[in-house]
Amino acid sequence: MAVDSMNSVLRKLQPLAAAVALTLAGCGAGAPGEAPLAGARIGGPFTLTDQNGKQVRDSDFAGKYRIVYFGYTYCPDVCPTDLARIGAALRTLDKQAPGIAGKIVPLFISVDPERDTPAQLKQYVGNFHPRLIGLTGTPQQIAQVAKAYAIAYMKQPTPSGYLMGHTEVAYLMGPDGKPITSLPLEKDSPAIVAELEHWVR
């Protein structure tokens, strides 16, 4: 039943996801060597709350590259798989290229603020990487930041509660807050490492 419910959510999200995909695809038509998402209208200012209950603004990360991933802690499969790959990639860079790793801040933004309290986020993000920052906020704050990052999400009730269907993407944002590329979550962590090594200067 839960799988059927999630499939229903994803079907409802398909039109918006397709529009987002078209937007992103159009951004990759630049000159060779240009960032695939150069010029895309992705990102923007936000004020959210981290896993320690501290207010966090996008400007707090100025000068750092950011990996921005939207999901939720009760996600049964997709989010933990993606975050495990991102975490593994960052641990590889921590060992092999600490200079690059030190320039990257990984962010996990919840699309389920109803359940994802700072305490819940703190317990969750620690499973993937010690520098992973979990962010939550009011439903209005989450809706605003999701819109800025072209993320669609939708609640779908299930017999045991609800699931959240959401766009699956991890953006690499530059030190200026502008989008660079999306990371290859469908591949393994070495592919993510290679992408980070290519773009992080």
The total of other beta-carbon atoms located within 10 Å of residue 184's CB is 15
Rounded Cα distance, 193 and 14, in Å: 29
Helix, strand or coil for residue 148? helix
Please check if 166 is assigned to a binding site. Answer: yes
Is 75 annotated among the ligand-binding residues? yes
Which residues on adjacent β-strands are paired with residue 179? 173
User: Half-sphere exposure of residue 70, counting CA atoms within 13 Å on the CB side?
Assistant: 26
CA–CA dist 70, 102 (Å, integer): 22
- CA–CA distance, 65 with 67 (Å, rounded to integer): 7
DSSP 3-state assignment of 141? helix
Return binding residues for Cu cation.
Answer: 75, 79, 166
Return binding residues.
Answer: 75, 79, 166
